[in-house]
Structure 1
Amino acid sequence: MADLALGKESSDFKKGLQAGISIGIGYFPIALTFGLLAKTSGLSIYETVLMSLIVFAGASQYISLSLIAYGTGIFEIILTTFIVNIRHFLMSTSLNEKCEEDQLINKLIYSFGITDETFSVVATKEGTASTGFLFGVISVSYTSWVVFSGIGHLIGANLPQTLQDSMAVALYAMFIGLLVPSMKNNVKVIFLAVFGAIFNSIFTIGHIMAQGWSIVTATLLSAILIESAEIIKAKYRGAGHEK
């Protein structure tokens, strides 16, 4: 029985590796660009790779580079990362129903590897997702992200200084690239981006608070405003139906 269970886990792990290849390929240009930008932001290759090893969250790492460039404090960076990744609570809850029952330690390990991409692959898999399958998917995506982050930094170190300085523009291009597809599919994202930009501009231009705190506060205020409007709209519709 133990041999059969071990054989099944090995088979599921291989299936997970195969399913994760597309994620690994997709992470290649994004992780490479992150490494390049990390170099231009002043991070060493050790700091760059360590961030990818510990954080493993693309959008958060890009935002962190921006905050580091502004000289933002560690607490603001951590808080911003928490806000950006708060959706992971919902994804983890959803996957908990999808995954097979297993030891808590295994769940704690593979929950670290949950990203938007790994979540999509596992959530759309037919039937129950085994622990072996999850570890396979996450192994490929995690390795790809970390390795290509380091390679990007090495490439950046060999670029002319003028080109390294100009790479800062790519950071804003990446944010736009992440935002635009979401804006096409969800009107709430448009309002969230607009209000966030307005609040951040007011706080920054008016010297009301430091750059790091202005981003955090603007994000929170925008989210609260949009969600409050959604709740009011839902109640209004509910009242209309009752009539």
Structure 2
Amino acid sequence: MNLMAFKRGLRDGIAIAIGYFSVSFSFGLTAVASGISWWEAVLISLTNLTSSGQFAGIGIIAASGSYVEMMVTELVINMRYALMSISLSQKLDPTFKRWQQLILGHCNTDEIFAVAMSRNKTVTPAYMTGLAVLPYIGWTGGTLVGAICGNILPTTLGNALGIMIYGMFLAIIIPAMRKEHPILVVVCVAVLLSSIIHFVPVFSFITDGFSIIICAVAASAVGALLYPVSEEEEAEHAA
């Protein structure tokens, strides 16, 4: 394993880990308040690593929902990870083995994907491992601490901790938007579409999960049409 690349990944994952700790802390509080034991909450975070999916799942469990409802909800909410994985696979270094892709694909979250895609180099197994380690620990550790604390902390504080992840994600995309005009255009298109779907009553039937997928695909299509990358440019960028 390339130790330098691994260390770089660790360094890039520190901010993500801090944000994940705060959000998963809130998840741990919510899970315990919904009647789930602390070890079950930790097991959920160990095997999922998806904030929106886990919070939605907790709501279904608390409401005694069916397995079918759980399956459909999680499929819709987390479908965007399939799109993100397809995109990230184009940036992976040739040294990536299939078993490494399967393991590290589990950690392909919104923030980890954004950081990995923002690199000017190909993503190596060592870098991706380093990038995923601390966020994974932060997410699971935050859930454990939040679940153990239970209802000790005020609800308002737990909700405030959950907002930190949005600030962290903005800190990732804003520098890229300032440097690259195509990224700025794609983000603006995604924000515009998201606002239309959320505020226009005729689109109220669209769920949050489908909204993310629609906005991501549409904004990416606009970016591909307006700013196509030639094969020569792509080869030069990869080199």
TM-score (norm 2): 0.69
Aligned pair partner of 1:93 in 86, 95, 99:
86
| Cα pair distance change 1:221/1:61, threshold 3 Å | closer
Aligned to 2:173: none
| CA distance, structure 2, for counterparts of residue 57 and residue 222 of structure 1 | 16
Shift of 1:186: 1.7
Aligned to 2:43: 50
Instruction: Give secondary structure in 1 for the equivalent of 2:25.
Output: helix
Aligned pair partner of 1:133 in 127, 133, 146:
127
State the one-letter code of the partner of 1:190: S
Aligned pair partner of 1:76 in 64, 69, 77:
69
Percent identical residues = 27
Unaligned runs of 5+ in 2: 171-186, 223-239
Aligned to 2:192: 187
Aligned to 1:207: none
State the one-letter code of the partner of 1:18: R
Shift of 1:185: 6.0
Aligned to 1:206: none
State the one-letter code of the partner of 1:62: F
| Cα pair distance change 1:77/1:168, threshold 3 Å | farther
Following TM superposition, the consecutive aligned residue runs of length 4 or more in structure 1 with deviations greater than 4 angstroms are: 168-171, 181-185, 194-199, 220-223
State the one-letter code of the partner of 2:125: T
Aligned runs of 1:115-126 on 2, under 5 Å?
115-126=109-120
- Number of residues of Structure 1 aligned to a counterpart in Structure 2: 193
Aligned pair partner of 2:106 in 106, 109, 112:
112
Aligned to 1:40: 33
Quick check: 2:22–2:162 contact (8 Å CA) kept in 1?
no
TM-score (norm 1): 0.68
Shift of 1:196: 8.9
Larger Rg: 1
| CA distance, structure 1, for counterparts of residue 22 and residue 36 of structure 2 | 19
| Cα pair distance change 1:89/1:45, threshold 3 Å | same
Quick check: 1:17–1:139 contact (8 Å CA) kept in 2?
yes
Shift of 1:43: 0.7
Quick check: 1:49–1:149 contact (8 Å CA) kept in 2?
yes
Shift of 1:220: 9.0
Aligned runs of 1:185-224 on 2, under 5 Å?
186-194=191-199, 195=201, 198-199=204-205, 219=207
Unaligned runs of 5+ in 1: 1-5, 200-217, 235-243
Aligned to 1:154: 148
| CA distance, structure 2, for counterparts of residue 41 and residue 104 of structure 1 | 38
State the one-letter code of the partner of 2:122: T
Quick check: 2:24–2:142 contact (8 Å CA) kept in 1?
yes
Instruction: Give secondary structure in 2 for the equivalent of 1:129.
Output: coil
| Cα pair distance change 1:30/1:65, threshold 3 Å | same
RMSD: 3.4
Aligned to 2:97: 103
Quick check: 2:77–2:210 contact (8 Å CA) kept in 1?
no
Aligned to 1:16: 9
